[in-house]
Amino acid sequence: EKIEITKEQQALMKIILDAYNRHQIPQDVAKKLLQDQYSAEENFLLLTEMATSQVQVLVEFTKNIPGFLSLDHEDQIALLKGSAVEAMFLRSAQVFSRKMPKGHTEVLEARIRKSGISEEFMTPMFNFYKSIGELHMVQEEQALLTAITILTPDRPHVKDQHAVERLQESMLDVLRKLCALQHPQEPQYFARLLGRLTELRTLNHYHTEMLTSWRMNDHKFTPLLCEIWDVQ
Protein backbone atom coordinates (compact mmCIF):
# COMPACT_ATOMS: atom_id res chain seq x y z
CA GLU A 1 0.00 0.00 0.00
CA LYS A 2 1.12 3.61 -0.42
CA ILE A 3 3.22 4.58 2.63
CA GLU A 4 3.29 8.25 3.48
CA ILE A 5 4.92 9.95 6.45
CA THR A 6 2.51 12.52 7.89
CA LYS A 7 3.45 16.16 8.51
CA GLU A 8 3.70 15.65 12.27
CA GLN A 9 5.82 12.51 11.76
CA GLN A 10 8.16 14.55 9.54
CA ALA A 11 8.38 17.18 12.30
CA LEU A 12 9.13 14.45 14.89
CA MET A 13 11.82 12.98 12.60
CA LYS A 14 13.47 16.37 12.15
CA ILE A 15 13.53 17.06 15.93
CA ILE A 16 15.08 13.65 16.67
CA LEU A 17 17.65 13.91 13.87
CA ASP A 18 18.68 17.47 14.83
CA ALA A 19 19.07 16.40 18.47
CA TYR A 20 21.09 13.34 17.44
CA ASN A 21 23.44 15.40 15.28
CA ARG A 22 23.68 18.33 17.68
CA HIS A 23 24.67 16.21 20.67
CA GLN A 24 27.92 14.46 19.75
CA ILE A 25 31.08 13.73 21.73
CA PRO A 26 33.23 16.90 21.50
CA GLN A 27 35.96 16.42 18.87
CA ASP A 28 38.77 17.16 21.34
CA VAL A 29 37.52 14.27 23.52
CA ALA A 30 37.12 11.87 20.58
CA LYS A 31 40.59 12.86 19.29
CA LYS A 32 42.11 11.60 22.56
CA LEU A 33 41.48 8.11 21.21
CA LEU A 34 44.30 8.76 18.74
CA GLN A 35 46.95 9.59 21.35
CA ASP A 36 49.67 6.99 21.54
CA GLN A 37 49.56 5.43 25.05
CA TYR A 38 48.18 1.91 24.70
CA SER A 39 48.52 0.33 28.15
CA ALA A 40 45.43 -1.44 29.51
CA GLU A 41 45.32 1.24 32.21
CA GLU A 42 45.52 4.08 29.69
CA ASN A 43 42.87 2.45 27.50
CA PHE A 44 40.51 1.98 30.44
CA LEU A 45 40.90 5.63 31.49
CA LEU A 46 40.25 6.83 27.91
CA LEU A 47 37.21 4.61 27.50
CA THR A 48 35.93 5.84 30.86
CA GLU A 49 36.29 9.41 29.67
CA MET A 50 34.51 8.57 26.40
CA ALA A 51 31.66 6.82 28.23
CA THR A 52 31.26 9.75 30.65
CA SER A 53 31.16 12.22 27.78
CA GLN A 54 28.72 9.95 25.96
CA VAL A 55 26.35 9.83 28.96
CA GLN A 56 26.28 13.63 29.02
CA VAL A 57 25.50 13.66 25.28
CA LEU A 58 22.82 11.01 25.81
CA VAL A 59 21.06 13.05 28.53
CA GLU A 60 20.93 16.09 26.25
CA PHE A 61 19.64 14.00 23.32
CA THR A 62 16.95 12.41 25.54
CA LYS A 63 15.70 15.78 26.76
CA ASN A 64 14.95 16.63 23.11
CA ILE A 65 12.74 13.59 22.56
CA PRO A 66 9.22 15.05 22.26
CA GLY A 67 7.16 14.08 25.31
CA PHE A 68 10.11 12.79 27.37
CA LEU A 69 10.21 15.76 29.74
CA SER A 70 6.45 15.38 30.34
CA LEU A 71 7.00 11.88 31.77
CA ASP A 72 7.11 11.31 35.53
CA HIS A 73 10.54 12.56 36.69
CA GLU A 74 11.50 9.33 38.42
CA ASP A 75 10.54 7.45 35.25
CA GLN A 76 12.81 9.76 33.24
CA ILE A 77 15.73 8.72 35.45
CA ALA A 78 14.73 5.03 35.31
CA LEU A 79 14.65 5.18 31.48
CA LEU A 80 18.08 6.85 31.27
CA LYS A 81 19.69 4.42 33.73
CA GLY A 82 18.05 1.43 32.06
CA SER A 83 19.05 2.38 28.52
CA ALA A 84 22.49 4.01 28.93
CA VAL A 85 24.57 0.92 28.16
CA GLU A 86 22.43 -0.04 25.15
CA ALA A 87 22.49 3.53 23.79
CA MET A 88 26.28 3.56 24.17
CA PHE A 89 26.64 0.25 22.38
CA LEU A 90 24.58 1.78 19.55
CA ARG A 91 26.70 4.92 19.59
CA SER A 92 30.06 3.14 19.63
CA ALA A 93 28.71 0.81 16.92
CA GLN A 94 28.13 3.83 14.67
CA VAL A 95 31.80 4.71 15.08
CA PHE A 96 32.77 1.27 13.79
CA SER A 97 30.28 1.24 10.93
CA ARG A 98 30.99 4.89 10.03
CA LYS A 99 34.65 3.98 9.39
CA MET A 100 35.79 7.20 11.11
CA PRO A 101 38.10 9.09 8.71
CA LYS A 102 40.81 9.69 11.31
CA GLY A 103 41.23 5.96 11.90
CA HIS A 104 39.19 6.08 15.12
CA THR A 105 37.72 2.69 14.26
CA GLU A 106 41.02 0.83 14.53
CA VAL A 107 42.18 2.60 17.68
CA LEU A 108 38.79 2.25 19.37
CA GLU A 109 38.81 -1.48 18.66
CA ALA A 110 42.42 -1.80 19.90
CA ARG A 111 41.61 0.09 23.10
CA ILE A 112 38.46 -1.90 23.81
CA ARG A 113 40.32 -5.18 23.16
CA LYS A 114 43.00 -4.16 25.66
CA SER A 115 41.12 -2.57 28.55
CA GLY A 116 40.66 -5.43 30.98
CA ILE A 117 37.53 -6.85 29.34
CA SER A 118 37.61 -10.65 29.36
CA GLU A 119 37.65 -12.57 26.06
CA GLU A 120 34.18 -14.08 26.63
CA PHE A 121 32.58 -10.61 26.27
CA MET A 122 34.66 -9.60 23.23
CA THR A 123 32.93 -12.03 20.86
CA PRO A 124 29.31 -10.96 21.47
CA MET A 125 30.40 -7.31 21.59
CA PHE A 126 32.21 -7.34 18.24
CA ASN A 127 29.55 -9.57 16.68
CA PHE A 128 27.08 -6.81 17.55
CA TYR A 129 29.34 -4.15 16.04
CA LYS A 130 29.57 -6.24 12.88
CA SER A 131 25.80 -6.83 12.69
CA ILE A 132 25.12 -3.09 13.05
CA GLY A 133 27.75 -2.28 10.41
CA GLU A 134 26.09 -4.66 7.93
CA LEU A 135 22.82 -2.68 8.19
CA HIS A 136 24.38 0.51 6.74
CA MET A 137 21.82 2.58 8.68
CA VAL A 138 21.21 6.16 7.62
CA GLN A 139 21.42 8.92 10.27
CA GLU A 140 17.62 9.05 10.66
CA GLU A 141 17.47 5.33 11.42
CA GLN A 142 20.34 5.59 13.94
CA ALA A 143 18.69 8.54 15.69
CA LEU A 144 15.25 6.86 15.83
CA LEU A 145 16.70 3.54 16.98
CA THR A 146 18.50 5.33 19.84
CA ALA A 147 15.28 7.14 20.86
CA ILE A 148 13.33 3.84 20.65
CA THR A 149 15.94 2.15 22.88
CA ILE A 150 15.67 4.92 25.47
CA LEU A 151 11.86 4.74 25.40
CA THR A 152 11.73 1.04 26.32
CA PRO A 153 8.75 0.76 28.73
CA ASP A 154 9.85 -2.33 30.69
CA ARG A 155 13.03 -0.96 32.25
CA PRO A 156 13.41 -1.58 36.01
CA HIS A 157 11.43 0.79 38.28
CA VAL A 158 9.39 2.45 35.50
CA LYS A 159 5.96 3.22 37.03
CA ASP A 160 3.87 4.55 34.12
CA GLN A 161 4.88 2.07 31.39
CA HIS A 162 1.90 3.00 29.18
CA ALA A 163 3.03 6.63 28.93
CA VAL A 164 6.46 5.41 27.74
CA GLU A 165 4.84 2.86 25.39
CA ARG A 166 2.84 5.63 23.67
CA LEU A 167 5.99 7.65 22.99
CA GLN A 168 7.91 4.59 21.80
CA GLU A 169 5.08 3.50 19.51
CA SER A 170 5.05 6.85 17.69
CA MET A 171 8.80 6.50 17.10
CA LEU A 172 8.40 2.89 15.92
CA ASP A 173 5.73 3.95 13.44
CA VAL A 174 7.98 6.61 11.91
CA LEU A 175 10.90 4.15 11.75
CA ARG A 176 8.74 1.49 10.12
CA LYS A 177 7.65 3.91 7.37
CA LEU A 178 11.19 5.28 6.94
CA CYS A 179 12.57 1.74 6.48
CA ALA A 180 9.90 0.90 3.90
CA LEU A 181 10.73 4.09 1.98
CA GLN A 182 14.54 3.79 2.35
CA HIS A 183 14.75 0.03 1.64
CA PRO A 184 11.79 -0.80 -0.66
CA GLN A 185 13.61 -3.89 -1.94
CA GLU A 186 14.14 -5.17 1.61
CA PRO A 187 10.69 -5.56 3.27
CA GLN A 188 12.28 -7.31 6.29
CA TYR A 189 14.75 -4.45 6.98
CA PHE A 190 12.60 -2.93 9.77
CA ALA A 191 12.37 -6.34 11.46
CA ARG A 192 16.18 -6.68 11.22
CA LEU A 193 16.60 -3.31 12.97
CA LEU A 194 14.29 -4.42 15.80
CA GLY A 195 16.26 -7.65 16.03
CA ARG A 196 19.32 -5.55 16.91
CA LEU A 197 17.40 -4.14 19.90
CA THR A 198 16.91 -7.69 21.15
CA GLU A 199 20.63 -8.39 20.68
CA LEU A 200 21.37 -5.15 22.60
CA ARG A 201 19.49 -6.36 25.65
CA THR A 202 21.68 -9.48 25.85
CA LEU A 203 24.76 -7.20 25.90
CA ASN A 204 23.44 -5.58 29.09
CA HIS A 205 24.14 -8.77 30.99
CA TYR A 206 27.67 -9.03 29.62
CA HIS A 207 28.26 -5.39 30.51
CA THR A 208 27.17 -5.92 34.12
CA GLU A 209 29.79 -8.68 34.38
CA MET A 210 32.39 -6.44 32.72
CA LEU A 211 31.73 -3.80 35.39
CA THR A 212 32.06 -6.39 38.17
CA SER A 213 35.38 -7.70 36.89
CA TRP A 214 36.75 -4.15 36.46
CA ARG A 215 35.72 -3.32 40.00
CA MET A 216 37.30 -6.49 41.32
CA ASN A 217 40.55 -5.25 39.78
CA ASP A 218 40.03 -1.96 41.60
CA HIS A 219 39.22 0.11 38.49
CA LYS A 220 37.64 3.49 39.26
CA PHE A 221 34.73 5.06 37.36
CA THR A 222 33.60 8.70 37.25
CA PRO A 223 30.80 9.94 39.60
CA LEU A 224 28.40 10.18 36.63
CA LEU A 225 29.03 6.56 35.57
CA CYS A 226 28.76 5.38 39.21
CA GLU A 227 25.37 7.11 39.42
CA ILE A 228 24.00 5.79 36.13
CA TRP A 229 25.34 2.25 36.67
CA ASP A 230 24.67 2.06 40.45
CA VAL A 231 28.28 1.15 41.24
CA GLN A 232 30.55 2.16 44.20
Ligand X SMILES: CC(C)c1onc(-c2c(Cl)cccc2Cl)c1COc1ccc2cc(-c3cccc(C(=O)O)c3)sc2c1
Q: Pick the closest to residue 201 from 82, 51, 40, 121 (CA basis).
A: 82
Q: Which long-range contacts (CB under 8 A, 24 or more apart) does 42-50 make?
A: 43/110, 43/111, 43/112, 43/114, 43/115, 44/115, 44/116, 44/214, 44/219, 46/111, 47/111, 47/112, 47/115, 48/221, 48/222, 48/225, 49/222, 50/25
Would you say 93 or 148 has its CB closer to ligand X? 93
The single residue among 30, 122, 197, 224 that binds ligand X, judged by CB under 6 A, is 30
The single residue among 13, 80, 91, 196 that binds ligand X, judged by CB under 6 A, is 91
User: What is the three-class DSSP state of 65?
Assistant: coil
Total residues binding ligand X (CB under 6 A): 21
Q: Is 104 in the site for ligand X (CB under 6 A)?
A: yes
Q: Is 137 in the site for ligand X (CB under 6 A)?
A: no
Which are the contacts of 1, defined by CB distance < 8 A and separation ≥ 6? Answer: none
Q: Is 149 in the site for ligand X (CB under 6 A)?
A: no
Question: Please, which of residues 43-62 interact with ligand X by CB under 6 A?
Answer: 44, 47-48, 50-51, 54
Q: Is 95 in the site for ligand X (CB under 6 A)?
A: yes
Would you say 79 or 88 has its CB closer to ligand X? 88
Q: Is 88 in the site for ligand X (CB under 6 A)?
A: yes
Side-chain-side CA neighbours of residue 77 (13 Å): 8
Binding mask 164-203 for ligand X (x = CB under 6 A): ----------------------------------------
Q: Pick the closest to residue 146 from 40, 2, 9, 19 (CA basis).
A: 19
The single residue among 61, 89, 189, 190 that binds ligand X, judged by CB under 6 A, is 89
User: In the complex, which residues of this chain contact ligand X (CB under 6 A)?
Assistant: 24-25, 30, 33, 44, 47-48, 50-51, 54, 85, 88-89, 91-92, 95, 104, 108, 112, 221, 225
